[in-house]
Structure 1
Amino acid sequence: MMMKNTPPTGEAVIALMGPTGTGKSTFINLLTNDENIRIGHDLESQTFDVSTSRYVDREAGLAVTFVDTPGFDDSRDGVTDTDILRKIADFLQAEWVLFVFVLLDIDIKRYRGGRKLNGIIYLHRISDPRMGGMAKKNLRMFKELCGDNSLVNVLIVTTNWNLVDEKEGSARQAALAQGAFKPFVDSGVRLFRHDKGLESTRLIISELMDQEPVALKIQEELDAGRSLGETSAGAVIIEELQELQKKHEEEMESLRKEIEDAARANDEELRLELAEERRKLEETMARAVEDRKVLEMKRITQPVAESSMGVEFATFSKMTELEDTVRTSSAESFALVDGGHSEERHRRRAGSGSPVREFLHELADIGGDLSKAGGERLGKAGVIGAIAALWLLVPLLAAKKVMAGH
């Protein structure tokens, strides 16, 4: 039978969340065959940045953008839960897109919530005999990120069924439904098995394709003007940081006494070893202080100034990390638009109301396309190069507009 080759009529954005090693990247790669997706075969984290992959099924007439998120148990040195929460929040809020909307005086209220999701899939290894501390923390963070209102779009999916026999796996899933997952199940969240490869992958996403897109709780909290630490998810991290601070202070006092004892005993080798431990602990404590600052920083302020052209500007936190935000927001917002969008762009520019507004619309379109192309081919370096190229193009485009007006 000949396959249809029609443009997709259904668009969905589906995020995958859960601990490291639960198979998020594997799940996505079954459909997309994306060679850029790194798949781990152990519990070492492969995903720190929030990454996206697009799947188009022209026969079924649907398209899905998958959002692969890091777990709150990253195994790499220097990566903290604060880093991961900020990455997820940046992606959901799409700060660069918001900045462009304000710059162009588009109705910002329609976009304040950032990206909305048709589906959120939480993955859990059925091969784990019990839910350990890291798994419990990830589930708690997931609950605080999503809130209650978005649970209608949530599925919990168990993986690694090939590592357990049917009877044992079924017993574990039943226990989870009455235990750790019970609050979700009681709220209507359904549990699915990912045990048949591509077949179960397609079944799972089909359950989410027609769902109305929703904003997560953290998006609503940030939209209300809260800092990251004032959100429900951020509060969990602050609570942990406070507990760690107390523990670190006790460890530091203990090390101080041990170093003094080693010095009195003229044990230079032990003293140097303890001094190195203290140095590492000081670095850890300093990083925790930086994390608190990030969590307490207000992310978005209200419009603060109006230029001579009547253009409002908004101030965003962490703008020094523009390349991260552009890669996730600019590229992916354009990736969701299928072929044939140039006509829509032309219509929007023509109806913008003024030459300045039309020029800014065109600039935003070009910037988005450059960022998308650069990010797809060269990663972050490509995005930075695209930004530099855009700045070089500004005077040329402006000159072109001036000449066209004469």
Structure 2
Amino acid sequence: MDDMDSVVDQLTDQAQRFSAFTGVTRPNPGDRFFLVMGMTGSGKSSFVARCTGKDVRISHGLYSCTDSIDVFDFMWNGRRIYLVDTPGFNDTNRSDIDTLMILATYLGASYANGVRIHGLIMLHPISDNRMSGSSLRNIEMMKAICGFTFYDNLVIATTMWPDTPSQAEITTLENREAELLCDDKFFGAVVAQRANVFRHNERGRRNPFEETASAQRIVAYLIRQSDTHAPEVLQLQREMVGQGKTIGETAAGIAVTGDLYKVRQAHERQLRELEAEMKNRLAMSDTAHAAAVQELKADVEGKLRKAEEDKQALEKSMQDMHEDEERAWKEKLRVIDRQFRKLLAAKEDELRDMEASLSELRKDRARTPRYRYRKQKAEHEDAEQERLVNEARREVSLARGAYQKFCAELVGNIFNGTANGLAAGITSGVIAGGKPVLVLLVLKLLVIGDEIRDANATPLCSYFRRTHLYYNTRASRVVPTTGPNSLEVR
């Protein structure tokens, strides 16, 4: 199927972009890497999609769409521009420590291999009528990750502007914007340190041309800034790679530690209350309510275990995180390989069945005398079956080619190229003290599981389901599977 080949092409493209981001393949001097940051729902994926023209999945619900870091690229005046779509903090699907570890792992690999982040785009929805905990957390973490002396290469872009606001709404939004940009708790400090401010898609129109122009105007500004202001190293990169700190010793790690302690205390207090309530209910023989309390208790115990895991994660070094990531991606590659093999085997089995069916059909035709009109109909049916078998052969050939491409380009060239690039990064002198750091295997195949399942959902058997004839070898007859006429050729 073409689906299988297109999946491989897409995965290869993703892996190549990640190879550039992490320095496995050397980017050109004019290439630029910009982080896109912000809370979940601030419009990061939409911004990247408009700017690059790439098919970026967009979350329309309460849950985060971006599972990890995504890297997308586009050409701008002969230069390749990479936009790195980062996960937000205070996400519904992962803890802040998990998010921080993702950022530290990939940004550390990038820095170790000599790739610099040339600027940041911090998106903030102006539609939020109050500064939520999620917004504050994302601003706080952005400052801790960057730690710049000056923020010349930072853009704060407000999003979600309404398309037809009243004058009262305009006044409210402008006052809210002024507070965001002046108060040091929010963006005031970085604005004072030369960060610039944009209103993304200010007129709020759902017009793709206007949205694209607005997004590219912001990126064009950062490109100009990066040409005149050398990028500073992110504080998180400097601490993890250059100074050899554990994740918990970094400024960003310290920022999340306090909240982790508070969360753990809250869970422990809730657990004590639930245990006391369960004892009371059992004493009162209220077993139904006691069972419900037990379920709540199990949930809180799970949260406590997660808090303990997060606490242990804070003690991990860059090498620890890269080793974890290496094991995870090796296993993912094995899973992908098994899925491709299974899909290919299913296609080959289907083809063998179809060829056997066609062979039996021809033998049956040769043994059975027919009148002329029935012979012509049988010949037409034979030709249709022959066409389907040839189509199936073509699909199997494409599937085999796609699998070979997967093995050669993804598992072979890019996998081995990653290892070589990492070795070069380790010996380049970037890492302080000459301590080797094991950088992750950057095969960023975020959506492969879903895509393989999508491809597997349309195996070759669909061809038989769509055809009007299926040869029943037990009955030695051709059975129409659709249509009002049940013609049987005996």
TM-score using structure 2 length: 0.57
Change (3 A) 1:232 1:123: same
The CA deviation string for residues 168-226 of structure 1, in whole angstroms up to 9 with x for no partner, is 33222112111221111111111111025122212111111141333211111102011
Q: 1-side partners of 2:173 and 2:83: how far apart?
A: 27
Offset of residue 374 of structure 1: 8.7
When the two structures are superposed, what TM-score results if normalisation uses the length of structure 1?
A: 0.69
Instruction: For residue 10 of structure 1, give the secondary structure of its aligned residue in structure 2.
Output: coil
- Which residue number in structure 1 is paired with residue 240 of structure 2? 222
Are the aligned partners of 2:150 and 2:193 in contact in 1 as well (CA < 8 Å)?
A: no
1:153 deviates by 1.6
Of 84, 96, 121, the match for 1:81 = 96
User: Could you tell me how far apart the structure 2 residues matched to 1:213 and 1:149 are?
Assistant: 11
- The Cα shift of 1:82 comes to 1.4
Letter paired with 1:34:
K
The answer for the alignment partner of 2:174 in structure 1 is: 170
| Matching residue of 1:294 | 313
Instruction: Sort the Cα spacing of 1:277 and 1:378 in 2 relative to 1 into closer, same or farther, 3 A.
Output: closer
Output the CA distance in 2 between the equivalents of 1:319 and 1:181.
37
Matches within 5 A, 1:351-370: 364-365=416-417
SS at match of 2:318: coil
Which residue number corresponds to residue 304 of structure 1? none
Report what 2:215 is aligned to. Answer: 201
Distance 1:19 1:145 in 2: 15
Query: Do the aligned residues in 2 keep the contact of 1:297 with 1:317 (CA within 8 Å)?
Result: no
5+ residue gaps, structure 2, are 1-27, 202-209, 334-412, 422-440, 453-490
Inter-partner Cα distance in structure 2 for 1:247 and 1:373: 38
Q: 2:88 aligns with which of 46, 49, 71?
A: 71
Give secondary structure in 2 for the equivalent of 1:148: coil
**Paired residue total:** 309
Note the C-alpha offset of 1:89.
1.0
Residue 123 of structure 1, CA deviation = 0.5
Give 1:294 deviation, angstroms: 1.1
Q: Equivalent of 1:44, from 63, 68, 77?
A: 63
Matched, 1:239 2:224: no
Q: 1:252, 1:47 → 2: CA distance?
A: 32
Alignment check: 8 A CA contact 1:152 1:188 kept: yes
Secondary structure of the residue aligned to 2:34 is strand
Cα gap change, 1:229/1:380 in structure 2, threshold over 3 Å: closer, same or farther?
farther
User: Which structure has the larger Rg?
Assistant: 2
SS at match of 1:192: strand
- Asked if the contact 2:149–2:193 (Cα under 8 Å) also holds between the matched residues in 1, the reply is no
Q: Deviations over 1:76-109 (max 9, x none)?
A: 3xx2111111111111011xx7xxxxxxxxxxxx
- Corresponding residue of 1:396: none
Alpha-carbon distance in structure 2 between the residues aligned to 1:181 and 1:114: 30
How far off is 1:116 after superposition?
1.7
Task: Give the superposition deviation at 1:375.
Answer: 3.9
Match of 2:57, SS?
coil
Alpha carbons of structure 1 residues 134 and 372: separation in structure 2 relative to 1, 3 Å: closer
The structure whose RCO (Cα within 8 Å, separation 6+) is larger is: 2
Q: Which amino acid aligns with 1:124?
A: H
Which of 96, 100, 106 aligns to 1:91? It is 106
Counterpart Cα distance in 2 of 1:240 and 1:366: 36
Q: CA deviation at 1:246?
A: 1.1
Q: Deviations over 1:46-98 (max 9, x none)?
A: 112100111113xx22221110011112223xx2111111111111011xx7x
Query: CA offset at residue 367 of structure 1?
Result: 6.6
Q: Say if 2:48 and 2:83, in contact at 8 Å, map to a contact too.
A: yes
Code of the aligned partner of 1:142: M
Q: Which amino acid aligns with 1:320?
A: R
In structure 2, what is the Cα distance between the partners aligned to 1:225 and 1:297?
Answer: 10
The aligned runs of 1:311-390 (5 Å cut-off) are 316=323, 319-323=326-330, 364-365=416-417, 375=445, 378=448
Partner in structure 1 of residue 41 of structure 2: 21
Instruction: Specify the code of the residue in structure 2 equivalent to 1:215.
Output: V
Counterpart CA distance in 2 for 1:259 and 1:27 is: 50
Counterpart-to-counterpart distance in 1, 2:63 and 2:46: 14
Change in CA separation of 1:317 and 1:227 when aligned onto 2, cut-off 3 Å: farther
Cα deviation code 1:267-317 (max 9, x no counterpart) = 00011111111111111100111111111122238xxxxxxxxxxxx9855
Which residues of 2 match residues 105-124 of structure 1 at below 5 A? 112=112, 115-124=115-124
Aligned-pair CA distance for 1:17: 0.5
Q: How many angstroms apart in 1 are the aligned matches of 2:419 and 2:239? A: 29
RMSD: 3.2
Q: 1: distance between equivalents of 2:249 and 2:414? A: 37
Alpha-carbon distance change, 189 to 377 in structure 1, aligned in 2, over 3 angstroms: closer
Contact 1:150 1:217 in 2 (8 A): no
Would you tell me which structure has more helix in proportion to its own residues?
2
Kindly state the Cα deviation for residue 30 of structure 1 after the two structures are TM-superposed: 0.5
